């Protein structure tokens, strides 16, 4: 009954929206419809302010932006949704949270809204669209930012003749961007050196490490582990909704091989720590690392003399993939305006502006725009072409983690056993078993998978 | 002569130890303040950099880009209001407990026991209470509700009252009763006795209680984060906007933290006079 | 306390105006404002938690659900993570509070004996408290960092081993304790100092004239007179330590794994990450129950003392 009423209202609102947009321009401040967007703090705040005013110029709406720390965004939004406060009209969701918000009626489906805007929906990179916009035959919003992972490395080390020679001598093949796990591990081992040893023929003043990892107490170790697990053909959840213990154990053991070559701080940091290590010249490469950090990583070229950064697909061509989705709260008092806002921010024009400011867009038309491939854009958008390759390699990829309404809770819990193993407190087997137990507890049995 | 030397050695030892203790206490804060003046490229470097060209850019960022003074203003209002309520109602109650033994200790125990319930378990009920109150006319008139300062003022009052009452009871009990009795004999009403005789004597205790109440309110995070969104957010929540997707903005965080320590320091310095009054206590009594 | 000056009750009453209320009513009126606040905002949430603890309540799956009897209590009792968090909490509280009390009292004496500069010392002492743990904890994380931290930098300079303060599961809890000691020892010291300064002078002057040894003065005069305020600080610190959340949240988030996961952090994870308010409420009830039982024993001497001092004269 209630939902029918809502749909009716929505239809009425949709009809009203066909009125010419021009009239919006001459609207008094007092007439503006207030909507609130809860989003991630420090997220290209300046660029966002411009995108928002761009929207306000065309619509009689006043957008209030609430910045929340990424680690608190999920619970803060859930509380407001459960409390049906209507405080947030537009919410920002991580890929694993979409199913939960959709299944529990926290957000409104936008299928009807996009019915006549098919082109806009089709512009979203298809690999991403499948993971972020769709759940059970409905469209739930637009991704406006992707953190899809790849491989960021110190290209100058790979080009150095002394290092190349030494590598070849030791491993019997050429030093190059790794395409397999074994190669990645070899490179990590190869570049791990103590202070006093040499790197590129120069004496190191501090320890140098083969790889920077995000094994700290944050929900990012699972993003790296996803790369290992997925590239081995497994997933966090089987189609029966259970954790495949053997597969997770194997992936965990492989990951532990890598931890040996990471700085000790790997156990306490997340991506920003890895970036700090990179910019201070302490690590040679990353694994399954968020490519949206590229503009950050490039700064290494100014902070470390002679450094040159490179970006590529992750080894085995599988890595963590997803994006931040904008969706409209079910308790919003102005769903129509909120949906317009989602369409605006996720739309081509706004995404172009966003990309120019350093944001990592989700639209094919933006990612493939030749302007962003130009050498002078390298510092901000040098990773776009790699993203296109990743989307191509991972075409049609699905993970059950993103299709269970318990995805967010599993995602927020899984780093605990994984991190215990990384810290050496428990074995890979124990970590996999604990994960299975935790997941079963969260779902109250096998996890439902809604495709 | 020998005695003087040994007492000099003792003093030297004492101040040596004090300096050591203060060093341990101050060093993390000092490092934070130093960081607040560092350019961005001198913070996350190894080995740590001690020599650098100081810059004010972090303060500019915190104050202008992040509008941090807005959070300072909110926090000041909320924590001062809450502290006044706590000190006034707490003093009244504590005096009653200390002098008249209301509830024979059971009430005092009950009051302390409210502090034993984990904050996280009460957060959702609080959220629901304030959501409902916020919808009413009284709520909007008094500024109570979600994302309104009243919600935090009330919350902080509830948390700090048990602590304040218990601390004040112990201070009030140290005041000799004789003074009150003679004041009563002089014809002063009970409330006047409390205000004119007891409170001045208990000033050090009240000052200490006030200082800590203010500090606890100033630093609270969990409730501020759940019960506010933006309009009534406090500094601890405001700092969150410095944790960005490009990493923590260490310099601006340090600047913001340094700014937020200042009001507390000024307040403590201002209260020093009252806190020291305890020294003259014995004289009054004699 | 001298009784000779106390005024007979009848005389006292005579001094007040005839319309004055009785002591009893006056004393009750004094506590009304405080009690009102406490009753509403302490009992309502407690009632809510009790109610929820007997129901199914996964907030992300609808609202508060059906009555499930004692299921939640059973589930919590069999929850290994819950008991492990209890262990962490006990270990933390015992160590941190002991250290803070001993160091705090020692520092209070140290400062009390100082002849000059007390004002500045006190102001500096308040620094760790004047910034929130959410922020200072962040800077401690920076100090503890193995790649960029100041602590390991200095240790390295003098050739000492450089521990992974927050990443090594065998020492992470100690690192959190060290932070807590840093933050709260000044609190103990400042209150103990206020207590020391409030002590009457005469008994000490008399003892000095008698030529009593310092140790004797401490044992027979100072500590007995300081006892109430010290005991109070001990109680407050214990309650706060058992409820430790901020420091863990910012330093380790309970990690590595669950090595530093205290009860309240587990409660937070259950209630605000998994949104199982039923389990969270049940744990909170357990928590309250344990605290009440423990404090009934621990607080008895303090309560008796308060009561007897309040009823005398």
B47 upstream amide cis, omega within 30 of 0: yes
Q: How many CA atoms lie within 13 A of B148 on its CB side?
A: 20
B58-285 CATH, one of 3.40.718.10, 1.10.3720.10, 1.10.3210.10, 3.40.50.2000: 1.10.3720.10
Q: What is the pLDDT of residue A12?
A: 46
Q: What is the pLDDT of residue C7?
A: 36
- Contact indicator for A86, A332 with CB cutoff of 8 Å: yes
pLDDT for residue A20 is more than 50: no
pLDDT for residue A13 is more than 50: no
C255 and A217 in contact by Cβ < 8 A? yes
C147: nearest Cα among A198, A152, A193, A283? A283
| Cβ neighbours of A74 in C, within 8 Å | 273
Nearest neighbour of B127 by CB, restricted to A68, A83, A280: A83
Spans of all domains in chain B: 58-285
pLDDT digits (tens, 9 = 90+) for B71-125: 999 999 999 999 999 999 999 999 999 888 888 888 888 888 888 888 888 888 8
pLDDT band at A44 (very low <50, low <70, confident <90, very high): confident
Question: In sequence order, what are the beta bridge partners of B247?
Answer: B244
Q: For chain A, what percent of residues have pLDDT higher than 70?
A: 94
The whole-number average pLDDT for the span A312-341 is 95
Are domains A2-140+322-392 and A149-320+396-443 of this chain identical in fold?
yes
Chain C, window 25-64: residues with a beta carbon less than 8 angstroms from a chain B beta carbon:
26-28, 30-31, 33-35, 37-38, 41-42, 44-46, 48-49, 59
Residue with tokens 């499930």: C68
pLDDT for residue A7 is more than 60: no
The residues on C that touch A, with CB distances below 8 Å, are 59-63, 141, 144-148, 164, 166-169, 252-259, 269, 272-275
Q: Count of domains in chain C?
A: 1
The dihedral sign for the CA sequence A251, C172, A442, C75: positive
pLDDT for residue B140 is more than 70: yes
Pick the residue from chain C with its C-alpha nearest to B201.
C198
A79 and B245 in contact by Cβ < 8 A? no
pLDDT band at B276 (very low <50, low <70, confident <90, very high): low
C50: nearest Cα among C64, C38, C39, C63? C64
| Cβ neighbours of B201 in C, within 8 Å | none
A423 and C273 in contact by Cβ < 8 A? no
Sequence-distant (6+) residues with CB within 8 A of C102 are none
C167 and A265 in contact by Cβ < 8 A? yes
C272 and A75 in contact by Cβ < 8 A? yes
Spans of all domains in chain A: 2-140+322-392, 149-320+396-443
Judged by a CB distance cut-off of 8 A, whether residue B120 touches chain A is no
Q: Which two tokens stand for residue C266?
A: 């587990």
Judged by a CB distance cut-off of 8 A, whether residue C128 touches chain B is yes
Residue C3 lies in a domain: no
Residue C123 maps to which CATH number?
Answer: 1.10.3720.10
- Residues A361 and A370: their CA atoms lie apart, in Å, by 14
A2-140+322-392 CATH, one of 3.40.190.10, 3.40.50.1000, 2.40.110.10, 3.40.50.10310: 3.40.190.10
pLDDT band at A416 (very low <50, low <70, confident <90, very high): very high
What's the longest Cα–Cα distance across chain C?
Answer: 80
**Which secondary-structure segment (H or E) carries C135?**
helix C133-144
Q: Which two tokens stand for residue A243?
A: 């954790």
Residue C274 lies in a domain: no
pLDDT digits (tens, 9 = 90+) for B166-199: 889 888 887 888 888 888 888 888 888 888 888 8
CA torsion, ordered A420, A256, A431, C242, to nearest 10 deg: 0
CA separation, residue C286 to residues A43, A89, A436, C49 (Å): 41, 38, 27, 11
Pick the residue from chain B with its C-alpha nearest to A84.
B131
pLDDT digits (tens, 9 = 90+) for B213-259: 998 899 898 899 899 988 899 998 888 888 887 788 999 999 999 99
Q: For chain B, what percent of residues have pLDDT higher than 70?
A: 94
Q: Which residues of chain C have pLDDT under 50?
A: 1-18, 313
Residue C10 lies in a domain: no
- Residues B175 and C87: their CA atoms lie apart, in Å, by 42
- Contact indicator for C17, B192 with CB cutoff of 8 Å: no
What residue numbers bound the domain in which C112 lies?
A: 89-259
- Contact indicator for A36, A64 with CB cutoff of 8 Å: yes
Q: Look up the CATH superfamily of A149-320+396-443.
A: Periplasmic binding protein-like II (3.40.190.10)
Q: Exposure pattern of A389-413 as b/e (b: 16+ CB <10 Å)?
A: ebbeebeebebbbbbbbbbbbbbbb
Residue A375 DSSP SS3: helix
- How near does any CA of chain C get to the CA of A233, in Å? 26
Q: What is the pLDDT of residue C18?
A: 44
Q: What is the pLDDT of residue B203?
A: 84
pLDDT band at B165 (very low <50, low <70, confident <90, very high): very high
Residue A116 DSSP SS3: coil
B245 and A42 in contact by Cβ < 8 A? yes
C126 and B264 in contact by Cβ < 8 A? yes
Question: How many contacts (CB atoms, under 8 Å) link B and C?
Answer: 331
The whole-number average pLDDT for the span A286-294 is 94
pLDDT digits (tens, 9 = 90+) for C123-173: 888 889 888 888 899 999 999 999 999 999 999 999 999 999 999 999 999
Name the packing angle between helices B119-135 and C277-311 (round to 10°): 100
- Contact indicator for A132, A325 with CB cutoff of 8 Å: yes
Residue C184 lies in a domain: yes
């Amino acid at each position: 009954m209630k939902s029918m009423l809502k749909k009716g209202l929505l239809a009425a609102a949709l009809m009203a929206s066909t009125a010419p947009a021009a009239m919006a321009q001459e609207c008094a401040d007092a007439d503006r419809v207030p909507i609130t967007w809860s989003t991630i703090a420090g997220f290209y705040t300046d660029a966002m302010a411009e995108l928002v005013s761009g929207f306000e110029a065309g619509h009689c709406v006043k957008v209030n932006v609430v910045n929340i720390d990424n680690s608190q965004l999920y619970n803060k939004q859930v509380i407001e949704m459960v409390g049906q406060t209507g405080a947030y009209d537009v919410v920002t969701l991580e890929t694993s949270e979409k199913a939960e918000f959709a299944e529990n009626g926290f957000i409104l489906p936008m299928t009807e809204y996009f019915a006549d805007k098919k082109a806009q929906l089709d512009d979203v990179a298809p690999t991403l669209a499948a993971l972020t916009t769709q759940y059970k035959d409905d469209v739930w919003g637009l991704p406006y930012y992707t953190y899809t992972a790849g491989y960021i490395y110190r290209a100058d080390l790979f080009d150095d003749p002394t290092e190349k020679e030494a590598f070849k001598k030791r491993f019997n093949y050429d030093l190059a961007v790794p395409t397999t796990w074994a190669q990645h591990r070899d490179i990590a081992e190869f570049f791990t050196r103590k202070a006093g040893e040499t790197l590129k023929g120069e004496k190191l003043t501090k320890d140098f490490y083969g790889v920077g990892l995000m094994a700290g107490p944050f929900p990012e170790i699972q993003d790296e582990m996803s790369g290992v697990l997925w590239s081995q053909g497994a997933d966090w959840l089987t189609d029966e909704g259970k954790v495949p213990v053997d597969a997770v154990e194997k992936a965990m053991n492989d990951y532990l091989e890598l931890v040996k070559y990471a700085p000790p701080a790997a156990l306490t940091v997340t991506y920003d720590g890895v970036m700090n290590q990179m910019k201070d010249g302490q690590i040679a490469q990353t694994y399954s690392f968020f490519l949206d950090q590229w503009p950050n990583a490039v700064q290494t070229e100014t902070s470390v003399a002679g450094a040159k950064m490179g970006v590529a697909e992750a080894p085995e061509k599988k890595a963590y993939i997803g994006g931040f989705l904008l969706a409209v709260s079910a308790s919003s008092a102005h769903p129509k305006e909120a949906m317009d806002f989602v369409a605006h921010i996720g739309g081509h024009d706004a995404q172009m502006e966003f990309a120019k400011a350093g944001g990592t867009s989700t639209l094919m038309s933006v990612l493939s725009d030749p302007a962003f491939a130009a050498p002078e854009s390298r510092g901000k958008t040098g990773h776009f072409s790699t993203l296109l390759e990743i989307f191509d390699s991972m075409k049609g990829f699905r993970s059950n983690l993103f299709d269970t309404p318990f995805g967010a809770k599993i995602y927020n819990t899984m780093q605990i056993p994984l991190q215990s193993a990384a810290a050496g407190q428990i074995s890979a087997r124990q970590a996999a078993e604990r994960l299975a137990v935790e997941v079963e507890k969260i779902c109250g049995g096998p996890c439902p998978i809604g495709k | 002569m020998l005695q003087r030397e040994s007492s000099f050695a003792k003093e030297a030892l004492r101040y040596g130890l004090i300096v050591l203790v203060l060093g341990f206490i101050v060093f993390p804060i000092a490092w934070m303040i130093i960081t607040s003046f560092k350019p961005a490229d001198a913070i996350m470097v190894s080995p740590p950099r001690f020599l650098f060209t100081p810059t004010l850019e972090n303060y500019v960022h915190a104050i202008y880009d992040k509008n941090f003074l807005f959070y300072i203003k909110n926090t000041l209002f909320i924590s001062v209001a809450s502290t006044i309520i706590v000190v006034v109602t707490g003093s009244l109650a504590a005096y009653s407990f200390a002098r008249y033994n209301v509830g024979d200790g059971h009430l005092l125990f009950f009051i302390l026991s409210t502090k034993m319930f984990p904050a996280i378990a009460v957060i959702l009920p609080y959220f629901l209470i304030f959501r409902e109150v916020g919808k009413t006319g009284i709520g909007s008139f008094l500024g109570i509700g979600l994302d309104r300062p009243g919600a935090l003022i009330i919350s902080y009052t509830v948390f700090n009252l048990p602590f304040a009452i218990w601390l004040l009871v112990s201070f009030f009990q140290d005041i000799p009763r004789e003074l009150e009795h003679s004041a009563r004999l002089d014809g002063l009403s009970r409330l006047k006795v409390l205000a004119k005789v007891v409170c001045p004597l208990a000033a050090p205790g009240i000052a200490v209680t006030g200082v800590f109440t203010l500090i606890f309110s100033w630093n609270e995070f969990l409730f501020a984060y759940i019960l506010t969104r933006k309009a009534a957010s406090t500094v601890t929540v405001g700092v969150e906007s410095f944790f960005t997707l490009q990493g923590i903005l260490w310099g601006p965080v340090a600047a913001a933290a340094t700014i937020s320590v200042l009001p507390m320091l000024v307040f403590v310095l201002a209260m020093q006079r009252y806190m020291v009054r305890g020294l003259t206590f014995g004289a009054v009594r004699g | 306390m001298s009784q000779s000056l106390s005024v007979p009750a009848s005389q006292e009453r005579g001094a007040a105006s005839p319309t004055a209320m009785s002591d009893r009513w006056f004393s009750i009126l004094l506590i009304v404002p405080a009690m009102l606040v406490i009753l509403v905002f302490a009992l309502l949430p407690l009632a809510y938690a009790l109610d929820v603890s007997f129901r199914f309540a996964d907030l992300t799956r609808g609202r508060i659900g059906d009555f499930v009897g004692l299921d939640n209590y059973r589930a919590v009792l069999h929850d290994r993570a819950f008991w492990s968090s209890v262990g962490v909490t006990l270990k933390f509280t015992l160590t941190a509070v002991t250290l803070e009390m001993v160091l705090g009292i020692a520092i209070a004496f140290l400062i009390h004996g100082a002849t000059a500069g007390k004002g500045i010392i006190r102001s500096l002492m308040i620094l760790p408290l004047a910034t929130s743990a959410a922020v200072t904890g962040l800077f401690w994380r920076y100090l503890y960092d193995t790649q960029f931290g100041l602590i390991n930098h200095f240790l390295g300079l003098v050739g000492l081993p450089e521990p992974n303060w927050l990443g090594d599961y065998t020492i992470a809890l100690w690192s959190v304790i060290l932070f807590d000691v840093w933050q709260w020892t000044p609190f103990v010291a400042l209150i103990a100092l206020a207590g020391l300064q409030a002590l009457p002078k005469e008994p000490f002057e008399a003892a000095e004239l008698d030529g009593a040894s310092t140790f004797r003065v401490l044992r027979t005069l100072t500590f007995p007179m300081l006892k109430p305020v010290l005991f109070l600080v001990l109680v407050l610190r214990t309650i706060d330590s058992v409820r430790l959340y901020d420091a863990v949240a910012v330093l380790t988030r309970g990690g590595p794994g669950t090595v530093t996961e205290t009860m309240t952090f587990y409660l937070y994870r259950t209630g605000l990450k998994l949104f199982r308010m039923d389990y969270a409420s049940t744990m909170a009830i357990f928590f309250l129950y344990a605290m009440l039982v423990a404090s009934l024993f621990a607080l008895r001497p303090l309560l008796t003392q308060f009561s007897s001092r309040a009823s005398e004269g």
